[in-house]
Amino acid sequence: MRRWAASLRWRLLLAALLAVSLALVLAGVAIARLFERHVTQQFDLRLQDQLTQLLAALEPDADGQPVLARPLADPRWQRPYGGLYWQVQAVGRAEAEPALRSRSLWDERLPLADDTLPDGALHRHALPGPAGQRLRALERAVQWGDHGPRWRVVVAADTRELEQALGAFHGALARSLAGLGAALLAAVAAQLWLGLRPLRALQHAVQRVRDGHETRLQGAFAAEVQPLVEDFNRVLAHDEQGVERARRLAGNLAHAIKTPLAVIGTLAEELQPREPALATALQEQVQRLREQVDWHLRRARAASAAHPARPTPVQPVLEGLLRVMRKVHAHAPQRPDEGAELAWDVEVTPPGLAFAGEAHDLQEIAGNLLDNAGKWARTRVEVRAWQEGPWWVLCVQDDGPGLTPEQCAAVLQRGVRADERAPGAGLGLDIVREVVSLYSGQLQLQRSPWGGLAVQVRLPAAA
The tens digit of pLDDT for each residue in 419-447 reads: 433 444 345 677 788 888 888 899 999 88
The pLDDT of residue 296 is 66
With beta carbons less than 8 A apart as the criterion, state whether 347 and 455 touch. no
Please tell me the number of Cα atoms within 13 Å of 48 on its side-chain side: 11
**C-alpha span between 333 and 378 (Å, rounded):** 9
The β-bridge partners of 459 are 392
Better-predicted residue by pLDDT, 282 or 85: 85
pLDDT at 385 over 90: yes
**C-alpha span between 367 and 293 (Å, rounded):** 19
Torsion angle, CA of 174/175/180/185, rounded to 10 degrees? 90
289 sits in which H/E element: helix 276-302
The percentage of the chain sitting over the pLDDT mark of 70, rounded to a whole number, equals: 86
Q: Give the mean pLDDT of 326-351.
A: 75
170 sits in which H/E element: helix 160-195
The pLDDT of residue 220 is 80
Q: Which of 306, 187, 296 is nearest to 243 (CA)?
A: 306
The pLDDT of residue 425 is 35
With beta carbons less than 8 A apart as the criterion, state whether 333 and 422 touch. no
The pLDDT of residue 333 is 55
Rg of the chain over Cα atoms, rounded to whole angstroms, equals: 49
- Of 4-13, 43-52, 162-171, 364-373, the poorest mean pLDDT is in 4-13
The pLDDT of residue 89 is 87
Please tell me the number of Cα atoms within 13 Å of 390 on its side-chain side: 7
Q: E-assigned strands of 201-318?
A: 312-313
The pLDDT of residue 418 is 45
Q: Give the mean pLDDT of 127-148.
A: 85
Q: What mean pLDDT value characterizes the chain?
A: 82
404 sits in which H/E element: none
Better-predicted residue by pLDDT, 396 or 270: 396
With beta carbons less than 8 A apart as the criterion, state whether 141 and 118 touch. yes
Widest CA span of the chain, in angstroms?
Answer: 164
Q: Which of 364, 363, 366, 375 is nearest to 418 (CA)?
A: 375
pTM, full prediction:
0.49
pLDDT band for 132, please (50, 70, 90 cuts).
confident
The amino acid at 48: Q
